[in-house]
Chains A and B, each alone.
Chain A
Amino acid sequence: MSAMRKRRFNPDRDVKEWSGPSIPYDILKEAFVALVAVGCLVLLLAVVFSSPDEHAVTLKTWSTADPVDFAQTAITQLDGTSPVATYGPPYNSTPGAAQHIGFFEPAQWLGTHQAVDTAKDFVLGPLQTLPGDAAVHQAVSEYEAASSAQRQAWTSAYEKAVADAKDVNGTLQVPPGPYGPVGTIIARLTSMAQSGALDGALSGQGQFYNTNYTKPLLFIASGNYLADLAGHQHLQGDQWGMMNETGNYPGQAWLWLYTMWYQVAPMNSSSNADLEVWGIMMVLTLVLIFLPFIPILRSVPRWSRVYRLIWRDHYRRLAQSRVARPQSVSATVEPTS
Chain B
Amino acid sequence: MTAPPVPRHGRASESAQWTARARRAAESAFPPERLLPDRQPAYLGSWVYVFGVISVVSLVWVITTGCVLALFGPTWWHTSSVGLFFNSMHLWSVEVFFFFMVLHLWGKFFMAAWRGKRRLTWATGVISFVVSIAAAFTGYLSQQNFDSQWISTQAKDGINATGAGAFWNVLNFGQMLMWHIVLLPIGVAAIVGLHILLVRRRGIVPPFEVGDHADGAGGDGDGSGDVVGTTTLEVGTAPTVERGVSA
List A contacts of B237 (CB < 8 A). 4
A304 partner, pick from B110, B117, B171, B233, beta carbons under 8 A = B110
**16 contacts across the A-B interface (CB closer than 8 A):** A5-B235, A7-B235, A17-B240, A18-B41, A31-B56, A45-B96, A49-B88, A53-B145, A56-B144, A107-B166, A217-B152, A292-B122, A292-B123, A306-B110, A310-B110, A329-B209
Interface residues of B in 87-130 (CB under 8 A from A): 87-93, 95-96, 98, 102, 107, 109-112, 114-117, 119, 122-123, 126-127, 130
Size bracket, chain B contacts: 35 or more
Q: Which of A102-126 contact B (CB under 8 A)?
A: 106-107, 109-111, 113-114
| Alpha-carbon distance A45/B57, docked complex (angstroms) | 16
Q: How far is the CA of A30 from the CA of B44 in the complex (A)?
A: 13
Query: Is A130 on the interface with B (CB-CB < 8 A)?
Result: no
Give Cα A171 to B87, complex, Å: 39
Residues of A within 8 A of B148 (CB): 56
The B contact surface, by secondary structure, is helix
Measured between beta carbons, the chain A residues less than 8 angstroms from B127 are 289
A-contacting residues, B23-58, CB 8 Å: 36-46, 48, 50, 53-54, 56-58
Instruction: Indicate which residue in B39, B44, B162, B215 contacts A106 across the interface (CB closer than 8 Å).
Output: B162
* A13 close to B115 (CB less than 8 A): yes
Contacts of A315 in B (CB 8 A): 207, 210
B102:A14 contact, CB within 8 angstroms: no
Residues of B within 8 A of A285 (CB): 126, 130
B216 touches which of A6, A11, A51, A230 (Cβ 8 Å): A11
- Are A7 and B233 touching (Cβ within 8 A)? yes
In Å, the complex CA distance between A290 and B137 comes to: 24
Closest to A229 in B: B146
- Provided the pairs A15-B115, A24-B38, A113-B167 are in contact, do residues A46 and B232 lie with their beta carbons within 8 angstroms? no
How many angstroms between the C-alpha atoms of A42 and B245 in the bound complex?
33
User: Chain B interface: which of A145-153, A189-197, A250-258?
Assistant: A250-258
In whole angstroms, what is the CA distance A177 to B92 when docked? 55
A180 within 8 A of B: no
Residues of A within 8 A of B58 (CB): 38, 42
Is the pair B247, A25 in contact by a Cβ cutoff of 8 Å? yes
Which of the segments A69-77, A132-140, A218-226 contacts the partner chain? A218-226
What's the Cα separation between A220 and B145 when bound, in Å? Answer: 14
Cα distance A246–B143 in the bound complex, in angstroms: 12
A195-230 vs B, Cβ < 8 Å mask (1 yes, 0 no)? 000000000000000011110011011000010011
The answer on a CB contact under 8 Å between B119 and A293 is: yes
- Complex formed: what's the CA distance from A254 to B85 in Å? 24
B161 contacts A by Cβ under 8 Å: yes
Task: Give the complex CA separation of A98 and B229 in angstroms.
Answer: 54
* Whole-angstrom CA separation of A304 from B98 in the bound complex: 24
